[in-house]
Amino acid sequence: MTNAKLDALRGRIDEINLLLLELLSERAAIAQEIGQEKEKQGVPKHDPIREKEMLEALVARNNGPFDTDAIRHLFKQIFQASLNLQQNDHKKQLLVSRKQKKEDTVITLGPVTVGGTKPIMVAGPCSVESYEQLRTVAASLKQAGVHVMRGGAFKPRTSPYDFQGLGIEGLRMLKEVASEFGLKTISEIVDPAHIELAGQYIDVIQIGARNMQNFELLKAAGEVRTPILLKRGLAATIDEFLHAAEYILSRGNSQVMLIERGIRTYEKATRNTLDISAVPILKQESHLPVLVDVTHSTGRKDIFAPCAKAALAAGADGIMVEVHPDPPTALSDAAQQLTIEEFNRFYTEVNKNGIVF
């Protein structure tokens, strides 16, 4: 082949490349429009039957020189790229997405804000057990300068024979003690029927890891205006976590905080694996505040402080930790709650230079 002939053929290929690019772009724009229409109609983006029909029609019309497998492979790539476009467009449209709302969502809890200028510390017992227990913890939080107390009244336990919590009476106790000490409260709700009522007792409704995809509970949480603390599911991807939050926002409650609490992996050195990378990813993808629960993620008091510092360094808007006046007698999570003395040491260490509320 002479150089002139080679150059001419290559010139033709270059032209065809440009034509293909134009056609692919035109096709992609139509795929995006189809995606928007599917979004409106609430139908799934991926339609394998339609994809199969398109491939069969193309294979039937193929006269070579590419063989059937090559044609299938090439067009599948095009289909996949179009589907990716539709799915990315869908993500951008989510209410939780930073593409929808650039500014951070800031939630006010009395004297503190979550997602604002400074990270917050949330501390308190795993379960509400007694007035004495709550008052001891509340007094020490107050003295340390912590403004938000947690305490579970509905406990989702692995075994039905373990302590299940004091229920509504526990919420009542939490409210009473918190108001004596001027603290804000967080407690888990497990039943959609309790969501509305909970607003009378607590300042933040926690939806626990086991209920992250309890869609009826999420919908009920979306109907009220009480702030929600949504925990990441035991084995939830970041995408599933964000879609769970979307359930709440889509019903009108925009006061949602996300909390990474560790996910299940093969690792046995910690109770769960604290996914620190989730913090910057969630902060990038969403405008919602992101907290880290060092207690349920690591389950190890000896590494709470470094993990809390890592979480803050990664951009977390807050830390949650469990504290109990006498952990060995605690009715739940006895092994991983800090004593008051340990909490004070932990807080001093994490709060160097007063970086935490």
CA 355 – CA 227 distance, rounded (Å): 23
As a whole number of Å, the CA-based R_g of the chain is 26
Indicate the burial class of 181 (C-beta count within 10 angstroms; 0-12, 13-18, 19 or more): middle
Q: Which of residues 97-156 bind ligand PEP (CB under 6 A)?
A: 126, 152
The correct pick among 104, 114, 123, 188 for binding ligand PEP (CB under 6 A) is 188
Among 35, 208, 299, 327, the residue binding ligand PEP under the rule CB under 6 A is 208
Apex 254 CA angle, 166 and 322, nearest 5 = 35
Binding of residue 171 to ligand PEP (CB under 6 A) = no
Q: Report CA 318 to chain centroid distance, whole Å.
A: 14
Which residue in the set 171, 333, 340, 357 belongs to the binding site for Mn ion (CB under 5 A)?
A: 333
Q: Is 243 left (phi over 0), alpha (psi -120 to 50) or beta?
A: alpha
Contact 86, 114 (CB under 8 A): no
Tokens of 1: 């082949």
Interface stretch with Mn ion, choices 69-77, 118-126, 228-236, 269-277 (CB under 5 A): 118-126
Residue 324 within binding range of ligand PEP, rule CB under 6 A = no
What's the CA gap between 294 and 296, in Å, rounded?
6
Q: Is 323 left (phi over 0), alpha (psi -120 to 50) or beta?
A: beta
Q: Which stretch binds ligand PEP (CB under 6 A): 27-35, 65-73, 204-212, 303-311?
A: 204-212
Region near Mn ion per CB under 5 A, out of 2-10, 60-68, 197-205, 333-341: 333-341
Least distance (Å) from ligand PEP to the CB of residue 103? 28
List 184, 231, 283, 324, residue binding ligand PEP (CB under 6 A): 231
Binding partner of residue 327 among ligand PEP, Mn ion, none, CB cut-off 5 to 8 Å per kind: none
Q: Is 271 in the site for ligand PEP (CB under 6 A)?
A: no
Binding site for ligand PEP (CB under 6 A): 126, 152, 188, 208-210, 231, 261, 293, 296
